Each structure stands twice: as structure tokens, then as C-alpha cells.
Structure 1
């Protein structure tokens, strides 16, 4: 009788396993490398987030200019420009304006002299205080044209450095007469005092030395009153 070795188990050691008998690799062999990859990815993301936070903090502190002055809403209140009031300018009642922004706070006051038919010249005075909180205004100070708020416009002569004030101060006069402007930058603060006149004598400067000296004195008082 012909024997059946497959029934006796003689072929079991040499025959290939069937599909049902295929060995299953241990699950740890798959999860181990994946777990390490996830840890590496998490570490990289954490490092990137920390580095981004460092850069943001560095940029915030590096870009923020020094501010030694406070912001007020009414720049006219309590400021009658006493020095200019002793000259022919004689500023009248002031009209205030102000604004607040994460990058810039500003306050403004416009003074007008009383106008009558007998007056030969009509004066207007403007004061502007700016507090730059994000970028340093010193890099652009004095680089642009003579222009700005309201009557801050026209051709100006060369800038004259003024050493009697804190920070960096420049005085300009209109090339053909008609206005004076004094501007100061101290850290992130910029102050502008502008005097303009109209009338029959608008083409000439009425006692320019007295007006210039009064503007410097009033600017010093303004900066002192706002200093923190």
C-alpha cells in the first residue's frame, strides 16, 4: 500500500507555509520607528515655536524707541505759549485734536490770533506732539520736505541746529518769509511748533529773532510739561 507522507507529517518540515500560516511581524516593529518620528517632529515644532517667539520678542524690544514723554488728549489746556504771547504773534484761543493708535499717539493744538481790519498781520500757531511706539522716527527726521499738518507746507531754507533743547532740534524759516518751524526729536517723541503769518507784511519776517527765541522757550516748556 502506498504511504501518504503528507498525512504522516513527513513533509511538514520542508513545505512552504500557506497563506493562513504566514508569520505576522510583531506590532512593536512598526510602531517603534513611527513613535520616534513623531517625537522628532514634535521636538522640531516645539523648537521652531520657541525660536519664533524669541525672534518676535527681540524684534519687539529692538524696534520700540525710547519714550520719555506722556500722551495727553488736550494739548491746548494750560499751554498759552507765554513766550510767543509777549511777541507780536500773541496766540489766541487754542483748538485741540488728538488720536491714539498702537503705533502712534498724537495730540495737536491750533492757535489763532484775533483778526481785525487794523491788524497788519494775522498769525496762526500750530503745535503737534507725536509719540512713536513701534519705530524710531530719528532715522527719517528732517529728511522729508517741509510739509505736514494744515499749514506746515512751503519751501524752507536750510535747517539750523538748536542746541538749547533736549534731543535733536532743527529750526527752519520760509525761504521767502511767512513762517517759522521748530521741530525736535527725542527718542520716539517728535514735537513740532509752527508759526505762520498772513497779511500785507506776509512777505517779510516781523522780528524773526524775537519769534525764534520765543519758539525755543515755548518748546522747552512744552517738552518739560510732558516729560515722564
Structure 2
């Protein structure tokens, strides 16, 4: 490694004649061949000068990642339409407040939120019975100092529940620089996208809820009385809708 004085402060002290000349002058004007170690020293100094110049011009490999126009000027969650998911499953719940966690830092801007969709009732019109609920989780991270590409690839199978097998991770073409669709064992699906210094995630999850006349029963329903809940759907079937809404999210962050 080149020491700090070589990089920043010693260039003016180098005798140009010693660096590039092929001979040394004796005091009486007689020329004599340069010693081999002096050739090596001159070459090392010149190489140091060129390397330091390249380091200054190109940043030594530590350049900030390209954010490709992404910005988190404001929280995108309240205005995110989720139009495609709304058409194939259910629209977002308009009356529920969306809580977002916004982080602003010199190295990273990040937003996280959870957006509920409208409940879907089961059979019957009494207002009682099983309901199916869906939630869309959104995460956007803008890396301003360090390129997230290597970590994104290394963690492509990692979830909060562990590491997924390869067959549960599908490559999604033509979406950002890289994109993967993860299908968890509980049926939830997550779409992850890397685009320059931006890492985005759209997580679609489903749950069931039993509504009875007494609130305590809805929290802990008697299985003998209410029977089994509805079968949870395979959310990877909504792959196209998730991709469409992800594209909308990506576009909204570049306006």
C-alpha cells in the first residue's frame, strides 16, 4: 500500500532528472551510467505517481453507487395505488392509517410500511364467519455510500424465517438490474429488486380471521364450533400483479 505522503504531499520533492534521465552527471560534467537500484527507484516513484493519479480520478473503487434518479423526498406509501393487486385480490383499505418508518442518513435513506387490503368475507351475509385478509409490505432502501449489489445477491434466499431452498426463489427478468420472487412455506410471496444503489421489496402476505358475535371468539375461536378456516392461496399466482405494482413504485420514486 502507498503511504499517505506518497499519495498527497511529496510529488514536488522528486528530482525530474533522477526519475526520467538515463545517466547521472558527475560534478565535472562527465556522464556515468546509473546504478540498477536507481532505475528501480525511479520506476517505483513514477508508478506511484500514476497510481495516485488514477486513484484520485477514479475514486479507488469506492465510488458511491448510482441511484439512477431514485429519491425519497416524501413517504410513497400513502399514495401508492397498488392498482394491479387491487384488481386481482382486493383494493387497499382506505380507512386504515398507514404507519411508515422513514430513515434519513448520509449513507442510507430507507422507508418501510405495511398497507392492508380490504377484508374478504367468506360464505354468508350475516357478518359472521371467516374472513381472509391481505397485507402488502413495502421497503425501499437507497444506498448512497456503498454498492448493495454483492449483499443483495448473497442474501437473495434469506428471509426472517431462515434460508429458502433454491426452488423457492425465482429470477424475474427485465426488472431493475436483478429481481427475485421468493415464495415462503406459509404461502407469502416477496418480490425483491436491485436497481443501481436502490433495493426495493414488495411483500404480499395473507391471513384468516374469524368474526363472531363475541370479540374474544374471533381472537381464539373454538375449532369445533367454527370448523377449519379457508385454505390459504398460493400468492405466487399473483406474480404479474406484484411486478406491475413494483414498476409503479419504482416510477413514483423517480418523479
- Normalised by the length of structure 2, the TM-score is 0.59
CA distance change for structure 1 residues 75 and 97 in 2, over 3 Å: closer, same or farther? farther
Pick the aligned partner of 2:158 from 138, 143, 146: 146
Please show how residues 1-228 of structure 1 align to structure 2 within 5 Å: 46-47=9-10, 58-59=58-59, 62-68=62-68, 69-92=70-93, 93=96, 94-115=98-119, 118-144=129-155, 145-147=157-159, 153=161, 156=164, 157-174=167-184, 176-199=185-208, 200-201=229-230, 204-206=232-234, 208-209=236-237, 211-227=238-254
SS at match of 2:99: strand
Rounded to whole Å, the distance in 2 between the matches of 1:171 and 1:223 is: 16
Q: Which runs of 5+ in 1 are unaligned?
A: 1-41
Cα deviation, residue 125, structure 1: 1.1
Q: What is the root-mean-square deviation in Å for CA atoms of aligned residues? A: 3.3
Rounded to whole Å, the distance in 1 between the matches of 2:131 and 2:242 is: 21
CA deviations 1:182-203 (Å, max 9, x no partner) are 000011000100011122346x
* Greater C-alpha radius of gyration: 1
- Normalised by the length of structure 1, the TM-score is 0.65
Q: Aligned pair count?
A: 180
CA distance change for structure 1 residues 72 and 60 in 2, over 3 Å: closer, same or farther? farther
Q: Relative to total residues, which structure has the larger strand share, 1 or 2?
A: 2
